[in-house]
Amino acid sequence: MRQTIPRAASLGRAPVRVSFQLNASGIKRFLGNISFVVLLNLLVKPGWVVLENVVQDRLGHEVFGTFTALLTLATIVAAVSDVGTTQLTTKRLAASPGFFTEFFPTLLPLRAGLGVGFLLATVGLGWVLGYRGHWLVLLTITAAGLLLTQYILFLRGVLQAHQRFNLDAVLSVLERLLLLGLVLALLPLGLSLDRYVAVRTVAVGFTFLLLVGLIRRFYGRVALRPRWQQARQVLLESVPLAFITLVYGLNERVDMLMLERLVSSQEASYYAAAYRWVDAVMMYLWTVLPLFFARFAHATGRTQEQQELLWFGQRVVTVPLLFVVGFGLFRGELLFFQFTHSSALEVAHMTQCLQLLFLNVLVHAFFAIYSTLLTSTDHEKPVSWLVTGSIVVNVGLNFLFMPRYGALAGAVNTLLCAVVVSAGYVWLVPRRTGVQLPWVMLLRLAVVFSGLCAGWYGLRTYAGLPWWLEAAAAGLWLLLLVAGLGVVKPSELRQLRRPPAG
């Protein structure tokens, strides 16, 4: 059933307040949306990561390291090309359905024009950084595909704002699923970098056409009537969000580009192999947090509801990642079994990077939802300044330590910056939103993770179990800790099992 969404008369007006409590029925329905999203990603994303590791192993660290740098450059610029319009659109549609018919005739051509402009900027920046010839052609094709991916994210924001979370979940994995099948088909025929780039482009093109068809079916055909006044209004309001997108893109990706330019393509490849698993794990956050973004925006002006969402979301976001981080710390070497052409020293180097980066995941697991709350409630500016400061620190530390320590320096610097930024979120949330932080729950979650690590260390040191049995025992121990320390209470589970009233 569709939820009733409060209307707003114009782009800048706050939604009308309605009385709403995040009761057991609402939580159960929302948790069902989240579970479906996570299930689809669990079915697709790990398989894709394993296959991309195979691609890296077949192409070699040197070739794949250079391609990783190109992909990183294109990803950063593609993220900037959004100029914050995706988040702004989701927020405004969640508050006012009339925003679609009023502003989308301007937004659609505006986004297309921005994409073309940023494609030219990517190619120019690649030339300035020293890429020539065939590498520049590959950069152009890769950037075009990623810009199309950004347009897909923009259109998916329409579905999220109208609470069509299950359909959005299917579309979130469709591109990877298509790419998985296409790359598997390529392996027996012979894999080359050119073919790999080509199938990436085919997968994103098909997903884009399908999504356009769905949007037209659900919301009708949008007549393109760009109006400069509307475009100017949207761009002015989205600038803070655009700045956040830029700094987040730089903060997460700049290390690989700097490694390839400052050290070597091999070091960039080692870092990429570790970061790929981190990116796969973080997809849980980037899949779940947009759902909370839409919910937080929908509850604008209702502090109590936002607090209930935050306290509920803290557990949803954090608990599953505790086990994943523990596995990476104690059994991270198992994630690189595909690298049959790499030496034991290279695999050990990638494992060290992975363990450091998984600590970065742990920090995000605890505190990323606070950034979501801030940006969904019009507090983008302080968040952007926080992340900007961390980028300056990160880049400076990279220049100092990367030439000597390579990929390990990039991983350590990323972790330090994540800690600093998260401390800033903790300080900002109660002061800017009025929402109280779940300090007791944070302490319990920290104790749960400490207990998990202690138990896993004991299993690894004294039990001598096969890795899969050891992981199963650690998972069971985590569940016991979660229940024993009251992170999830039996009364809450019983409440969720009841059928929704009415």
Q: What is the pLDDT of residues 359-392, one digit of tens each?
A: 999 999 999 999 888 888 878 778 878 888 888 8
User: How far is Cα 355 from Cα 326, in angstroms, rounded to an integer?
Assistant: 9
Neighbouring CB atoms inside 10 A of 431's CB total 9
Q: What gap in Å lies between CA 270 and CA 61, rounded to an integer?
A: 7
Confidence band of 20 (pLDDT split at 50, 70, 90): very low
Structural domains counted in the chain: 1
Residue scoring higher pLDDT (234 or 468) = 468
Is residue 385 in a domain? yes
What proportion of the chain, given as a percentage, has pLDDT over 70?
A: 84
Question: What is the pLDDT, as a whole number, of residue 151?
Answer: 84
Q: What's the pLDDT score for residue 35?
A: 65
> Is 496 contained in some domain?
no
Tokens 């994540």 -> residue:
418
**Least confident segment among 137-141, 229-233, 342-346, 415-419:** 229-233
Task: Answer yes or no: are the C-beta atoms of 295 and 45 closer than 8 Å.
Answer: no
Average pLDDT estimate for 319-324: 94
Per-residue confidence band for 353, with pLDDT thresholds at 50, 70 and 90: very high
Domain span holding position 315: 24-437
- Nearest CA among 148, 139, 154 for reference residue 205: 148
On whether residue 194 sits in a domain, the answer given is yes
85 or 37, which is more confident:
85
Residue 10 pLDDT: 36
Among 185-189, 235-239, 258-262, 403-407, whose mean pLDDT is lowest? 235-239
Residue 491 lies in a domain: no
Q: With 70 as the cut, is the pLDDT of residue 22 above it?
A: no
Q: How far apart are CA 494 and CA 438, in angstroms?
A: 22
Which residues 6+ apart lie within 8 Å of 355 measured at CB? 328, 329, 332
Query: Where residue 38 falls among pLDDT bands split at 50, 70, 90?
Result: low
pLDDT (mean) for 399-418 = 93
Phi first, then psi: give them for residue 151, nearest 5 degrees: -65, -35
| Three-class HEC string of 256-274 | HHHHHHHCCHHHHHHHHHH
User: How far are the Cα atoms of 355, 359, 363, 388, 438 from residue 420, in angstroms, in the given order?
Assistant: 19, 14, 10, 11, 19
Return d(Cα 62, Cα 443) in angstroms, integer.
Answer: 44
The CA distance from 14 to 333, in Å, is 50
State the pLDDT confidence band at 284, using cuts at 50, 70 and 90: confident
First to last CA, the chain: 12
> Does residue 11 lie within any of the structural domains?
no
Residue 176: per-residue pLDDT = 84
* Residue 375 pLDDT: 83
Q: What is the pLDDT of residue 23?
A: 54
pLDDT at 155: 81
- The label of the residue with tokens 């296409």 reads 182
Domain-located, residue 446: no
pLDDT at 493 exceeding the cut of 60: no
Neighbouring residues of 32: CB distance < 8 A, sequence distance ≥ 6:
none
Please name the residues in contact with 176: beta carbons below 8 A apart, sequence gap of 6 or more. 44, 45, 48, 203
The model carries a pTM of 0.72
pLDDT tens sequence across 86-124? 777 777 776 676 677 777 788 888 888 888 888 999 999
pLDDT (tens digit per residue) in 129-183:
889 899 999 999 999 998 888 888 888 877 776 667 677 777 778 888 898 899 9
The verdict on residue 102 lying in a domain is: yes
What is the average per-residue pLDDT within 354-360? 95
Decide which of 138 and 316 is more confident: 138
Residue 492 lies in a domain: no
Chain Cα centroid distance, residue 3: 26
